[in-house]
Amino acid sequence: MTAAVSTLEIRNLHVSVETEEGPREILRGVDLTVRTGETHAIMGPNGSGKSTLSYSIAGHPKYTVTDGSITLDGEDVLALGVDARARAGIFLAMQYPVEIPGVSVSNFLRSSATAVRGEAPKLRTWVKEVKASMEALEMDPSFAERGVNEGFSGGEKKRHEILQMALLKPKIAVLDETDSGLDVDALRIVSGGIEAVRAKGETGILLITHYTRILRYIKPEFVHVMAAGRIVDEGGPELAAVLEDSGYDRYVKGGGAAAPAGAGAVS
């Protein structure tokens, strides 16, 4: 693969969801630029809009973009369907991966690799590739024969997400709370998988997290703090260290840059 740099640009993104009381705005003008090879962390309290941002990038139909733009190398991402975004090089590792009963992991992985790469991978090299990626994530080979996410433990689900990222080689990967629900061992393994993808320098990573714990394994160059639907603070790794000590209080309560009253608990 040529190492041309790809750029995901998010400009003034406003996103609403439909509620019983009518549309409700969750993102209120997000600006963010992620390039391949870079690692960004987005941190923020519950309800700040972190997950909404990740789903909006992936194109989940529940979220309506009311203003702003998302482009990948200048191409309008918002005009693309969910599957076309993935084929364009955007990947979302989900916080709560969905069970798909009866569809085996191996069949699913091959179907998605075929779709994203535009041709079916050659069987012999594909089997090796999957095997090596699974070993790196300490996954038992029998895993491939199970139904997608069916009866997976929390750690297995997250390893499976990172396995997909490794195989699909996206330009931009959004990791939505990939660290949540992992014990120390699983966090180490999952972080190792993310680090391996990052080390290749062909993927830009947007790491969304509530906690700083995963940042001990994966060092972002850029840290963004999100509150009430906007990026309210930005900095380098040192910002994560500050958050580790002081938490999010000053962004939520202090009447800070962007925490209007009533912007509270959006999950």
User: Footprint of other proteins on residues 49-68 (CB under 8 A)?
Assistant: 58-61
Given strand 230-235, what is the order of strands in its sheet? 90-93, 172-176, 204-209, 39-43, 222-227, 230-235
CA 180/CA 82 separation, integer angstroms: 24
User: CA 43, CA 231: separation in Å to the nearest integer?
Assistant: 9
CB 9 within 8 A of CB 76: no
Task: For the CB of residue 116, give the shortest distance to other proteins in the complex, in Å.
Answer: 4
Site for other proteins contains 79 (CB under 8 A): no
30 lies in the binding site for other proteins (CB under 8 A): no
Smallest distance, other proteins to C-beta of residue 254, A: 37
154 sits in the region (left: phi over 0; alpha: psi -120 to 50; else beta) called alpha
**What is the footprint of other proteins within residues 146-205 (CB under 8 A)?**
147-148, 164, 168
Under the binding rule (CB under 8 A), the answer on residue 110 touching other proteins is: yes
Which range, of 29-37, 43-51, 109-117, 204-212, touches other proteins by CB under 8 A?
Answer: 109-117
- Point out which span in 70-78, 85-93, 204-212, 243-251 binds other proteins (CB under 8 A): 85-93
Would you list the DSSP string of 93-131? E-SSPPPEEEEEHHHHHHHHHHHHHSSPPPHHHHHHHHH
Binding site for other proteins (CB under 8 A): 58-61, 81-87, 91-92, 94, 97-103, 107-108, 110-112, 114-116, 118-120, 147-148, 164, 168
